[in-house]
Structure 1
Amino acid sequence: MNLSNRLKKLNLSGVFPAEKEKTNVNRSAFFALVRKEFTDNIRSWRIIILLAIITLTCIGSLYTAVTTIQDAIDQSGENGQQIGKDSYLFLKLFTVSDGTLPNFVTFVTFLGPLLGIALGFDAINSERNKGTLSRLMSQPIPRDYVLNAKFVAALLLNIVLFFSLGFLVMALGILILGIPPTFEEFARVFCFLILCIAYIAFWLNLGILFSVLFRQAATSALSSIAVWLFFSVFYNMIVQMAAKSMFSSGSITNQEQAINAQGSILNFMRLSPNYLFSESTTTLLSPTVRSLGPLTTRQTTGAIPSPLPLDQSLLLIWPQLTGLIAATLICFAIAYMLFMRQEIRSN
């Protein structure tokens, strides 16, 4: 009798029922932790206030965008439908503003990190200070389930929020403007929402990392906000000052040197998650953007000024998206290693 027949005869699916039962129990425990964390986030007043602010600001940005687009359609007269088809008018719901309020993308860039930090800065240290972490660890569940469940629950909340807001903006845009999106416009908005989730996941993992690293929630919150302010406000200024001192007007004598200098500045700027997100959203929601770096005259000679198809836009932002995901995974890996090595004692 060969080995396969012996395995069939032994019926190994029933030899280790205890192992299967343990796996099912662990899976149920993980989903129970995720459900508990998701419910706690929804019921938290801190998160409710942030969600309300994000929702109201997005509705306000939609109103300004619709007003601007409606004025453009009214000025175009009978050719409004043709303008909507030719100029990706539906995507302007997320990028256009009349100046009274920032657009949808600007609000996500500013408020998205705050939401991620608010969901993660006290994920572990609050449980430790309350004395509930040691009780969780005394249960027959793997230690990493606690950290993984907190991340998954916060990520699910972000997915529900931003897909709901994105579809709400599209639905109101269709009702008010009367111009339905094309399949490519819908796909671009869908990819933009996925990009928003990846961007906020970085700040969520950064908050979780500081929550594992520091015992006090206030310290982890201030550290996360300090990193956010550094990349949002100061990093661009530092890079521009360094570039001004390194590449003075006398050191650049030809076009090739100017392009190399500009490329070096862009590489330093792309170390910021905010800049990576800004480049990616600009390319996705503005199909006329054909390059994210400096081009020579030879490269632009003969180029047809037409919008890029979706697959080419995705190829163009693939390094930026990979960088965001890599930064997110690095933060989560560091938090995971620190949490698994920490000693947890009951108070």
Structure 2
Amino acid sequence: MVGKEIGDHIRSWRFGILIGIIVLACIGSIYSAVTAIRNGSLDEQSAGDTFLFLRMFTLTSPSLSVPSFATFLSWLGPLLGIALGFDAVNSERNKGTLGRLLSQPIYRDDFIIAKFVSSLFLIAVVVFSLGFLVMGLSLFTIGYPPTPEEFCRIVLFLIIAVVYIGFWLNLSILFSIRFRQAATSALSSISVWLFFTIFYSMIINLIDSATAVSEQQMNPAAQLRQMNFILTLNRLSPTELFSETITTMLSPGVRSLGPLTMDQLVGAIASPLSLGQSLILIWPQLTGLIAATMICFGISYALFMRQEIRSRA
């Protein structure tokens, strides 16, 4: 069943169109990073950064309006997951093949697991292929290979990207089970994606303005509570969790993902974090992404197992 689903996805037009768009975006981001390096547009902090290979994934040229590869992946990755899952179940139901398929000696859970595993496998292949493509082109551009730590950071970044896209895949499969029309499930998935990508940050800014500490109560403790409150609200968004994790993985100079006091900065050595310390820093965010993905899959699984499926005559 997994092999059949993979073949169906590969032969579909939408998969080819999305792959073409993502590959073009990947090439554009590489060209932007190369242009920035050749023009010497790195800032002072980046100029002394020894992790130049990682900068190929995050660097952009000021003269070109082209985002970095990490930004492209955070934008186009969810669309890939939604495209592979928005009609995973309701299309089978509308065609009348779902009842015939489940009338065979096949368990229901095998069907829904095959839908998820096949799509996630394709997502992993696409993400890692693009990541290694960037690494290969960066090798030709920079002229030297990545260090073992840089390679491990890039691989972890790609794994996190697969988990993040898997969340949107599970969400689209959930809507595909809940709604009978593929258009309704696609619009629902895209609406949730647009909400967390664009409108959620606007709502948080409004909450921040409404709950801001007044000048009469301006003290460090109140400001710290306010900042932690807004940061907690931001981290309810999977987009924010993914942004924090990839920022930490691809930028070893990031030492904190929250507010710091002067007491915490006293005696701190200005040096990049090791790979292990960066993993410890992003472990709560990564756990949140994995938990959100598992919760979506669990709800989809329970909803599909309880649905009544009738065969068409």
Q: Tell me the TM-score range normalised by the shorter chain.
A: over 0.9
Letter in 2 for 1:111: L
Q: Which residue of 1 aligns with 2:9?
A: 41
Q: How does 1:113-124 map to 2 (within 5 A)?
A: 113-124=78-89
Query: Cα offset for 1:67?
Result: 1.8
Letter in 2 for 1:88: F
Alpha-carbon contact 2:25-2:72 (below 8 Å) kept: yes
Q: Which residue of 2 aligns with 1:331?
A: 296
Counterpart CA distance in 2 for 1:187 and 1:240 is 35
Q: 1:87 aligns with which of 50, 67, 70?
A: 50
Counterpart CA distance in 2 for 1:280 and 1:156 is 22
Query: Cα offset for 1:253?
Result: 1.8
**1:270 and 2:245 equivalent?**
no
Alpha-carbon contact 1:209-1:335 (below 8 Å) kept: yes
Q: Which residue of 1 aligns with 2:272?
A: 307
Give the aligned CA root-mean-square deviation in angstroms.
1.6
Letter in 2 for 1:53: I
- The SS at the match of 2:215 is coil
Q: Which residue of 2 aligns with 1:243?
A: 208
Q: Which residue of 2 aligns with 1:15?
A: none
Cα distance 1:68–1:138, how it changes in 2: closer, same or farther (>3 A)? same
Letter in 2 for 1:38: I
Query: Cα offset for 1:247?
Result: 1.9
Alpha-carbon contact 1:55-1:165 (below 8 Å) kept: yes
Alpha-carbon contact 1:70-1:177 (below 8 Å) kept: no
Q: 1:97 aligns with which of 35, 44, 60?
A: 60
The share of aligned pairs that are identical, in percent, is 61
**TM-score, normalised on structure 1?**
0.86
Letter in 1 for 2:276: D
Q: 1:62 aligns with which of 4, 25, 30?
A: 30
- The SS at the match of 1:111 is helix
Q: What 5-or-longer segments of structure 2 have no aligned partner?
A: none
List per-residue Cα deviations over 1:95-134 (Å, max 9, x = no partner). 0010420000110111011000000100000000000000
**1:157 and 2:122 equivalent?**
yes
Q: Which residue of 2 aligns with 1:227?
A: 192
Q: Tell which structure's C-alpha radius of gyration is larger.
A: 1
Name segments (4+ residues, structure 1) moved above 6 Å.
Answer: none
Counterpart CA distance in 2 for 1:144 and 1:131 is 19
List per-residue Cα deviations over 1:21-44 (Å, max 9, x = no partner). xxxxxxxxxxxx000000000111
Counterpart CA distance in 1 for 2:136 and 2:117 is 28
Counterpart CA distance in 2 for 1:330 and 1:223 is 18
Alpha-carbon contact 1:95-1:105 (below 8 Å) kept: yes
Alpha-carbon contact 2:2-2:115 (below 8 Å) kept: yes
Alpha-carbon contact 2:87-2:176 (below 8 Å) kept: yes
Q: Which residue of 2 aligns with 1:285?
A: 250
Query: Cα offset for 1:250?
Result: 3.2
Q: Which residue of 2 aligns with 1:147?
A: 112
Counterpart CA distance in 2 for 1:96 and 1:175 is 17
Q: Which residue of 2 aligns with 1:130?
A: 95
Q: What 5-or-longer segments of structure 1 have no aligned partner?
A: 1-32, 75-82
- The SS at the match of 1:154 is helix
Alpha-carbon contact 2:213-2:222 (below 8 Å) kept: no
Cα distance 1:242–1:90, how it changes in 2: closer, same or farther (>3 A)? same
**TM-score, normalised on structure 2?**
0.95
Counterpart CA distance in 1 for 2:304 and 2:216 is 49
Letter in 2 for 1:108: L
Alpha-carbon contact 2:228-2:259 (below 8 Å) kept: yes
